[in-house]
Structures are given as C-alpha cells and as structure tokens.
Amino acid sequence: MTNFIFAAGLLLLALLGVVARKTYYYLPLRELKRRAAKRDPQAAQLYRAAAYGNSLRGFLWLYIGLTSAASLILLARMLPVWVSLLIVGPLLWLAFSFIPATRTTKSGIFLTKLMTPPLVWLLNYLHPLLSRGADKVERRYLAADHTKLFEREDLLELIKNQHHQPDSRITDEELEIASRALGFGDHHVRDIMIPRKQTKTVLADDTIGPILIDEVHKSGQDYALVREARKGPFVGTLAFKRLDLQSSGKVRGIMEPAVYYLHENDSLSQALHAFFVTNHPLFVVVDNLEEYIGVLTIENVLRQLLGHVPGDDFDQYADITLVAARHAKPAKPEKAEPGEPESANESQESDETPVKTDDEVVE
C-alpha cells in the first residue's frame, strides 16, 4: 500500500511538472519580460524561472521523465500487466497530449508560482551544467521554431485573427495598415483614380475670381487641370490651396506648368515610384489610346496604403512660430551664468557661422 501511495505521489509530481512547463511557456519569453517590467506580480514571479531559458526546459524534462518513469515502474511491479496498461495509457495521454493542449488555469498558475522559488534556487546552482547540455540538444536534435507562414495569405489570416485576440496591444489601425500594405501591390491606378467626370478643368487664360474659385471649391478636389484650349492638351495644374479672396490675374500666372502621366494599368507601386521621382502630387491617367480618363493624387495612394492620411488638421507649416508652438513645453526661466548667452536663441545663433557679404569683403 505504501508503494502504491508513493507511486501515485510521483505521478502527481510528474503532472505538476507538465502543468508548470505549460504555464512557464504559455507566453513568449519577451512578452513575459515586458509584463514583468511593468510590475505585473504574476509575470514577475514566472519570469524568475523562465529567464533561465534552456536550463529550465532541460530541468523540467528531466524532472518529468524521472518522476513519471519511477511511478510507472512501481505501478507495473505492484499490479498485473493489463491493469498497469489501463492506468498508464490514460495517464500518458493526460500528461503529454491533453494537458499541454489546454488553456492555462488559475490553479495551474497558482501551483507553478508555488514551485518557482525552490526551482529558481536549484537552477541558480545547476544552470552552468544544464545550459551546456540543453544547448547541445537544441542545436543537434530540436527543430527550429517555425512561423507557420508560407504565403502572403497566411500572414493576412494572422493579422485577421490578431483583431480578435483579447490581450493584443496592436491597435486596429496598425493592423489595418499592415493588411493594406500587404495588398498594396495588387491594386492598379484605375482602381483608385478620380474619374474624368469628377475632375475639374480650367483654361490657362481664365480670369481668377470668386466664380472660378467657387467652382473649383465645389468640385471637392485639391487640384484642377489646366488646358490651353477647350480641346487642347494639358499645360499645367492649379492647386486650390493657392487661391484665396485676394487672388487675381490669370490662371497661367499661378498654375504649376508641369504635367505628368500614368497608365491606368500601372500598379500602385509604380505610381508611388512616379511620385517620388517627379515630386509632383498629381498625375493624369491615360488609357492605351492616350485618352485622358482621370487623375491620381498622392492622397489617393496614401489612403489606399494607410486607410487614411495620418495627422491632425494642422496645415500652417509655413509659420515657424506655430510649428514650434505645437511641441512647446512650459519651462521655468533660469538665470544665465556669467559669460553664458541669455537665451536659447542667442546660444543657437552663436553656434552658426555667418556668411560674409560683399561689403565685408571689400572693407
């Protein structure tokens, strides 16, 4: 009877080792470290042992192997063979198939936390020996971790599942950007261009005034195409942001005298390359017959890539004071030491090398 109780105790210890192994590795080590750094008491306790890496893994395998083998040998010696098989079979299935595949439980975490202090104490002494052996076994016999990703569709499926992971700290916006970036090259210019019917065109000799400004504004577009004549070729583009109530003269005087083209079958990757090469925000889209069928702006491309144009509504980038004020932090004025400049501006200006003028050279 004593041997039977001893064998049952060894089996329980083996199962505890299996539960502990599952609990220590239910999160990647880097995530466990992050949570421990954020003062999560549970993660901090588990990380004390998990930080030993292969030493912990090797110790747990030895512990599970020795306790389970000893218990099974004792049971086989005390019980008939058929009874031992009836007991051993389900126990092996429970320990090495069912428990590792189940979720971590509060009781499992509690038991693992209880065994962590003595385990850490042992690993502190056994780590040099265990690490060498475990590293050799890993290099020679264990398969490398596989991402389980083979094609782009697998990565898209991973991103889709990440949306529903309860403890995910990746925002939906970041996941959407990643998903859009993966499918960016599959789209073509024709898929996101502004059709010809929705594009505003003006003549180079049109007079700038309230009527023209209102028409361009109603189009809802940031740019208008400029023609030399009604049926003539395009000779430039007119940016709506350059028009205000004080604008006057002819369109020719404030238009951008450059026109660039893209084919409707060009990919968005090719379109993005064209934007970088020309540094122009608007392209005229043509078909195989060189017929104008629409326009494409850099905003269209960014919206397809990112889902939206990032940033707030701030647009005063020409005003140095407003740009600096966006990131200004209130600071207490400090008295300057003797010999030091009295302000940050004076200090900055003192570091600059002034350019000599013609008058200074003459003097």
Tell me what pLDDT residue 278 has. Answer: 93
Helical ranges in 25-105 per DSSP H: 29-37, 41-50, 54-78, 81-93, 99-101
> Rounded CA gap, 141 and 137, in Å?
6
Strand runs labelled E in the chain: 194-195, 201-203, 223-227, 234-239, 261-263, 282-286, 292-297
Residues of the chain above pLDDT 90, percent:
27
> Rounded CA gap, 345 and 352, in Å?
11
For the segment 184-207, the average pLDDT, to the nearest whole number, is 89
* DSSP string across 306-321: HSS--S-S---TT-HH
Strand order, beta sheet including 223-227: 201-203, 223-227, 234-239
* DSSP string across 181-197: HHHGGG-BHHHHPEEGG
Provide the token pair at 69.
């083998």
> Rounded CA gap, 45 and 41, in Å?
6
In 3D space, the residue among 101, 74, 98, 100 whose CA is nearest the CA of residue 88 turns out to be 74
In the chain, where the domains are located: 2-140, 189-306
For the segment 52-80, the average pLDDT, to the nearest whole number, is 85
Tell me what pLDDT residue 30 has. Answer: 92
Question: Which of 99-108, 239-248, 291-300 comes out lowest in average pLDDT?
Answer: 239-248
Question: What does the mean pLDDT of the chain come to?
Answer: 82
> Rounded CA gap, 284 and 262, in Å?
6
Q: pLDDT for 11-41, tens place per residue?
A: 888 889 999 999 999 889 999 999 999 999 9
User: Is it the case that residue 361 has pLDDT exceeding 60?
Assistant: no
Query: Is CATH 3.10.580.10 the right assignment for the domain spanning 189-306?
Result: yes
User: Is it the case that residue 66 has pLDDT exceeding 80?
Assistant: yes
Beta strand pairing status for 194-195 and 292-297? antiparallel
Q: pLDDT for 128-173, tens place per residue?
A: 888 887 777 777 766 677 788 888 889 989 999 999 888 899 988 8
User: Is it the case that residue 78 has pLDDT exceeding 70?
Assistant: yes
CA distances from 236 to 125, 174, 282 (A): 77, 37, 10
Q: Are 71 and 10 in contact (CB under 8 A)?
A: yes
Tell me what pLDDT residue 271 has. Answer: 92
User: Is it the case that residue 343 has pLDDT exceeding 60?
Assistant: no
